[in-house]
Amino acid sequence: MNGVARGSSRRKRLLAVVLFSMIFLSGCLGGSQENSRQTDADGDIVLEVWHTFAAESKEEQVFMNSVSTFETAYPNVTVEVTMVPFGNADQLFMTAAQGGQAPDLMRLSSDQLGAIGEVRVDGFPLLEDLRPHLTPQDRAIFEERALQAMRYGDALYGIPASQDCLSLIFNKALFDAQGLEYPDETWTEQDLLNAAELLTYQDVQGLAIPIKTAYWWFPIQEGFGGSLFDDDGEPSLDSNGSSEAMRWMLDLELEHGVVATGTQIEGMKNQFISSKAAMIFDGPWNWATYEASRLNIGQTLLPMVESTGERMSPLVTYKGWTVSKQSANKVAATELALWLSSLDVQKEFAVETYTMPTHVELESDSDINDDAVLAGFLEQTKEGTPAPTTRAMSLVYDPLSTAFEQAYSGIASTEEALSGANQQLEEQIESISRADPFPLAEGYRTIAIEFETTGATSYDIFVDGALHTEIRVESMVDGSLLGYDSCTDGTNELLQLGQQRIASGSMDTIECHLTGMIPEQDHFIEVFGDDVLIFSTTQLTSVADERPEAGDTSPVLFALGAIVLSLIALLSFAKWNDTKLGRTKSKLAHFYVAPALLALAILTFYPVLYGFWLAFTDANQTQLGDQSFIGLDNFFEVFSAEGFLRVTLFTLVWTVVNVSAHIGIGLFLANMLHRSRIRGKVAYRTLLLLPWAVPSYISVLVWRGMFQPDGFVNDLLGTNIDFLSDPTGAQIIVILVNIWLGVPFMMMSISGALQSIPKDMYEAAELDGVVGWAAFRYLTLPNLRSALIPLTLLGFIWTFNMFNVIYLMTDGGPNLYFGQPGQTDILITYVYDVAFREGAYGVAAAWSVIIFLMLFAFSWRYMKQTNATEAVA
Amino acid sequence: MTDSTDMRWWYVPMEIVMLRRWIVAAFLVNVLLLTVDYLRAESDLLLLGILSCLLFAALRASLPNVNDHVRRNLSLVLSAILLGIAVYRLLRTELTVFNLWIHCWSLIPSGLTLYWLSGRPVTVWTSRKLSDTAIEYGLMRNAELSKTFHATSTHITLLHFVAITVIPLIWIIDIAFSEGNALGGQIGDSFTTEHFSKILNGDSFWTWLTNSLIVSIGTALLGLFIAIPAGYAFSRYKFTGRDVSMFSFLLVQMFPGIIILVPYFLVMKTLGLLNSHLGLILAYCVTALPLCVWMLKGFFDTIPRELEEAAALDGCNQFQVFTKVVLPLSTPAIAVTALFSFLAAWNEFLLALTFNTSNDMYTLPVGLASLISSTGQAWGDFAAASLLVSLPVALLFLFFQKFLIDGLSAGGVKG
In DSSP notation, A760-795 reads: HHHHHHHHTT--HHHHIIIIIHHHHHHHHHHHHHHH
Tell me if residue A151 falls in helix, strand or coil: strand
Report the residue from A103, A752, A844 with minimal CB separation from B332: A752
- On whether the CB atoms of residues A569 and A499 are closer than 8 A, the answer is no
Cβ distance of B226 and A596 shorter than 8 Å:
yes
In 3D space, the residue among A622, A527, A323, A358 whose CA is nearest the CA of residue A445 turns out to be A323
A718 contacts on B by Cβ (under 8 Å): 40, 94, 96
Verify whether the Cβ–Cβ distance A599 to B286 is below 8 Å. yes
Q: Do B165 and A690 touch (CB under 8 A)?
A: yes
B119 Cβ contact partners less than 8 Å away, ≥ 6 residues apart: B15
Amino acid letter for position A810: T
Cα–Cα distance for residue pair B109/B98, rounded to 1 Å: 17
B179–A745 C-beta distance less than 8 A:
no
Grouping H, G, I as helix, E, B as strand and the rest as coil, residue A204 is strand
Among B40, B181, B374, select the one facing A717 at the smallest CB separation.
Answer: B40
pLDDT at A206 over 80: yes
The mean predicted confidence, pLDDT, of chain A is 87
d(CA B186, CA A274): 10
Q: What would the DSSP string read from start to end of A31-42?
A: HHHHT--SB-TT
Nearest by CB: A607 against B154, B167, B267: B267
Strand partners, A323: A105
Percent share of chain A, pLDDT over 90: 51
Are A54 and B371 an interchain contact pair (Cβ–Cβ within 8 Å)? yes
Pick the residue with more confidence: A694 or B185? Answer: A694
Residue A82: closest CA among A97, A98, A100, A67: A67
pLDDT of A33: 40
Closest partner CB to A600 (pick from B234, B252, B373): B252
Q: What is the DSSP letter of A442?
A: T
- A–B CB contacts, 8 A cutoff, strictly below: 460
Contact present, B106 and B85 (Cβ < 8 Å): yes
Backbone angles phi, psi at A27, to 5 degrees: -60, -45
Mean pLDDT, range A428-452, rounded to an integer: 88
Contact B59, B78 (CB under 8 A): yes
Tell me the C-alpha distance between A787 and B291, whole Å.
10
User: Do the chains contact at B302 and A786, CB–CB below 8 Å?
Assistant: yes
Interface test with B, best of A264, A755, A788, A863 (most B CBs within 10 A): A755
What one-letter code names the amino acid at A617?
A: T
Task: Provide the pLDDT for residue A15.
Answer: 46
Q: Are the beta carbons of B376 and A293 separated by less than 8 Å?
A: no
Each of the 415 residues of chain B gets a pLDDT tens digit; together they read 445 555 566 788 888 889 998 999 999 999 999 999 999 888 899 999 999 999 999 999 998 887 788 888 999 999 999 999 999 999 988 888 899 999 999 999 999 999 999 888 888 888 877 788 888 888 888 888 888 898 999 999 999 999 999 998 988 888 888 876 666 556 666 788 888 888 888 788 899 999 999 999 999 999 999 999 999 999 888 888 888 888 888 888 899 888 888 889 989 988 989 999 999 999 999 999 999 998 898 888 888 888 888 888 888 887 888 888 888 888 888 888 898 999 999 988 889 999 987 888 999 988 888 877 666 567 788 888 889 888 888 888 888 887 766 444 434 443 3
B258 and A835 Cβ atoms separated by less than 8 Å: yes
Is the preceding peptide bond at A814 cis, omega within 30 degrees of 0?
yes
> Do the bridges between strand A77-83 and strand A45-51 make them parallel or antiparallel, or are there none, so unpaired?
parallel
Task: List C-alpha distances in Å: A774 to A637, A675, B395.
Answer: 52, 14, 36
Residues 6+ apart with CB under 8 A from A242: A221, A224, A226, A227, A236, A418
User: Hey, are the CB atoms on A706 and B154 less than 8 Å from each other?
Assistant: no
Higher-confidence residue: A830 or A589? A830
User: Which of A463, A462, A459, A479 has the alpha carbon at shortest distance from A471?
Assistant: A459
Q: Centre a 10 Å sphere on the Cβ of residue A184 and count the other Cβ atoms it contains.
A: 12
Higher pLDDT, A378 or A10: A378
What are the distances in angstroms from CA A614 to CA A632, A849, A854, B259?
Answer: 11, 10, 18, 10
Contact B408 A758 (CB under 8 A): yes
Other Cβ atoms within 10 Å of B95 Cβ, number: 9
Suggest the residue from B99, B200, B212, B245 to mutate for an interface test with chain A (most A CBs closer than 10 A): B245
Find, in chain A, the residue whose alpha carbon is nearest to that of B406.
Answer: A755
Residues of B in contact with A608 (CB under 8 A): 251-252, 255, 260
Tell me what pLDDT residue A414 has. 94
Average pLDDT over residues A791-811: 91
**B232, B293, B398: residue with CB nearest A682:** B398
Nearest chain A residue to B228 by CA: give it: A592
Question: Does the pLDDT of residue A699 top 90, yes or no?
Answer: no
From B48's Cα to the closest Cα of chain A, the distance in A is: 17
Enumerate residues 6+ apart whose C-beta is below 8 A from A269: A208, A280, A282, A286, A289, B182
Q: Are B49 and B34 in contact (CB under 8 A)?
A: yes
Q: Which residues of A touch B245 (CB under 8 A)?
A: 593, 597
CA distance linking residue A143 with residue A356, whole number of Å:
12
pLDDT confidence band for A40 (50 / 70 / 90): low
Over range A559-578, report the average pLDDT: 89
- In this prediction the pTM is 0.89
Q: State how far residue A564 is from chain B, nearest Cα, in angstroms.
A: 13
Q: Would you state the pLDDT for residue A187?
A: 94
- Cα–Cα distances in angstroms (integers) from residue B293 to residues A468, A666, A801, A815, B322, in the given order: 69, 21, 20, 40, 16
Interface with B, mutate which of A585, A600, A733 (most B CBs under 10 A): A600
CA distance A136 to A148: 14
Task: Identify from B187, B239, B390 which residue to disrupt to test chain A contact, counting A C-beta atoms within 10 A and taking the largest count.
Answer: B239
Question: Can you tell me the distance from the alpha carbon of A3 to that of A20, in angstroms, rounded to the nearest whole number?
Answer: 26
- Would you state the pLDDT for residue B183? 63
- At residue A675, the pLDDT reads 79
Best to test chain B binding among A694, A829, A854 (most B CBs inside 10 Å): A694
A437 to chain B, closest Cα gap in Å: 25
Of the candidate ranges A695-699, A736-740, B28-32, the one whose mean pLDDT is the lowest? A695-699
What is the Cα gyration radius of chain B? 30
Question: If 0-12 CB within 10 Å is exposed, 13-18 middle and 19+ buried, where does residue A164 land?
Answer: buried
Q: Which helix (H) or strand (E) holds A581?
A: helix A554-581
In angstroms, rounded to a whole number, what is the distance separating the alpha carbons of residues B143 and A418? 72
Of A624, A672, A694, the CB nearest to B386: A694
Which residues in chain B are contacts of A753 at CB distance < 8 A?
298-299, 332-333
Q: In angstroms, what CA-CA distances link A553 with A91, A98, A560?
A: 21, 11, 11
Instruction: Say if CB A854 and CB A801 are below 8 A apart.
Output: no
d(C-alpha A744, C-alpha A758), whole Å: 24
Which phi and psi angles does B221 have, rounded to 5°?
-70, -50
Q: Which of A574, A686, A697 sits opposite B368 (nearest CB)?
A: A697
User: Which neighbouring-strand residues pair with A459?
Assistant: A471, A529
Among chain B residues, the shortest Cα distance to A843 is held by B259
Q: What percent of chain A has pLDDT over 70?
A: 93
Strand A446-452 relative to strand A205-208: parallel, antiparallel, unpaired?
Answer: unpaired
Helices (H), A587-680: 589-600, 606-615, 633-639, 644-675
Instruction: Tell me how far CA of residue B337 lies from CA of A249, A661, B398, in angstroms.
Output: 53, 22, 16
Strand partners, A156: A151
Q: Nearest residue on chain B to A798, judged by CA atoms? A: B253
Beta-carbon separation of A686 and B394 below 8 A: yes
Question: CA-CA distance, B110 to B82, in Å (whole number)?
Answer: 6
Closest CA to A399 of A241, A230, A251, A235: A235
Comparing alpha-carbon positions, the chain A residue that sits nearest to B229 is: A592
State whether A82 and B358 contact (CB < 8 Å). yes
What is the rounded CA–CA span in Å between residue A863 and residue A790?
Answer: 9
Residue among B254, B259, B294 whose CB faces A790 most closely: B294
CA-wise closest residue to B185 among A495, A715, A412: A715
The answer to whether the CB atoms of A273 and B155 lie below 8 A apart is: no
